[in-house]
Amino acid sequence: MTGKPQQFASDNYAGICPEAWAATAAANDGSARAYGDDIWTQRAADAFRTLFETKCEVFFAFNGTAANSLALAALCQSYHSVICSSSAHVETDECGAPEFFSNGSKLLVAQTPDGKLNPEAIRALACGRSDIHFPKPRVVTITQPTETGQVYSIDEISAISATCRELGLKLHMDGARFAHACATLGCTPADITWRAGVDVLCFGGTKNGMAAGEAIIFFDTSLATDFDYRCKQAGQLASKMRFLSAPWIGLLESGAWLGNARHANDCAASLATTIAGLPGVRLAFPVEANSVFLSAPDTVLDGLRERGWLFYTFIGGSARFMFAWDSDIAVVRALGQDIVELCAPAAGMPPAPQSSYG
């Protein structure tokens, strides 16, 4: 890929964490019944019920696009609409899958610079029109943390939920990095989901140490009616389901789901601390989870590329660095040192020697 020992362009670059790997290996010992009728899938579903301290319906999908799209489709008819942020993954990065699987439900987009929805934005879209010529608002979807790395507090989610209830809307949470939000807030998973009024959560495993797999969790179990058929029709019913569900056992029963997230968050905080106050450089968004968005002159960004660092600039032109369960803090510090060195000439300072990873 490059000469670097590790890259931080995406947390999807990470491998499988030991706990998920070991659980997969354990499930590979012998045969098991197919299509989810196995002890591993039952055990994983029960682990979620224990984690969230409530009865809930749990389904397993291969990836986040399928999880989000099928969950929203379960909440909508084709003439309904879904309120989301302008930077929401369902709007910008799922190739129209939510509309496709719902047979045409429209996404109503709120312009939110930081990626967060709020009651005012929801109300404006939900109440803007109520005539029969306009798709009827049915669902609000929020991303926790947002695509810009912002974390919704318990109070913020509760306020959104109250608005949803007032307006007759359901609340869906895209939790691709849900574990990282729990690590930031120091709360239980229940506190920022069903206790705060969330109806359905898509809990991300891929970015938390698994090879593949997301869990769709219905806290309002009435909404899960026939969802198994929806998964089958969409190609998300794995014949060897134990290999999608067993890694969750490794993550949840060991506590690695939270430990992995804490480590990734700590790596992001470390980089943010290193670059704080550098001339010409600023954080485009507060660092609240496992991402750092760096706004810097082209000379700095080009310099990072020349030194072999990979990153994306698809949100506002800032360089995004994502950290995962296996991020090496030494390499994180090397990245920070390279940014420090590249900023030195802009401040009229003599350049420091290149880092050992340069």
Q: What is the per-residue pLDDT across 201-222, written as a single tens digit (0 to 9) for each? A: 999 999 999 999 999 999 999 9
Q: 9 lies in a domain?
A: no
Domain holding 24: CATH number? 3.40.640.10
338: tokens are 């390279």
Residues of the chain predicted below pLDDT 50: 348-358
If asked whether residues 248 and 282 sit together in one domain, one would say no
Q: 7 lies in a domain?
A: no
Check: CB of residue 202 under 8 Å from CB of residue 174.
yes
Angstrom distance (rounded) from CA 11 to CA 115: 19
Q: What is the pLDDT of residue 356?
A: 34
Strand order in the sheet with 170-175: 57-61, 214-218, 200-204, 170-175, 136-143, 80-85, 106-110
Q: Are strands 80-85 and 136-143 parallel, antiparallel or unpaired?
A: parallel
If asked whether residues 162 and 39 sit together in one domain, one would say yes
If asked whether residues 194 and 269 sit together in one domain, one would say no
If asked whether residues 153 and 82 sit together in one domain, one would say yes
Q: What is the pLDDT of residue 316?
A: 86
pTM of the entire predicted model: 0.94
In our burial notation (b when 16+ CB lie closer than 10 A, e otherwise), range 291-313 reads: bbbbbbeeebbebbeebebbbee
If asked whether residues 204 and 228 sit together in one domain, one would say yes
If asked whether residues 198 and 247 sit together in one domain, one would say yes
If asked whether residues 231 and 128 sit together in one domain, one would say yes
How many domains does the chain contain in total?
A: 2
Q: 5 lies in a domain?
A: no
Q: 69 lies in a domain?
A: yes
Q: 2 lies in a domain?
A: no
Pick the last residue of a domain from 254, 287, 303.
254
Angstrom distance (rounded) from CA 152 to CA 134: 30
If asked whether residues 332 and 221 sit together in one domain, one would say no
Angstrom distance (rounded) from CA 257 to CA 325: 9
User: How is residue 174 annotated by DSSP?
Assistant: E
Domain holding 322: CATH number? 3.90.1150.10
If asked whether residues 242 and 293 sit together in one domain, one would say no
Q: Which domain holds residue 112?
A: 17-254
Residues, the chain: 358
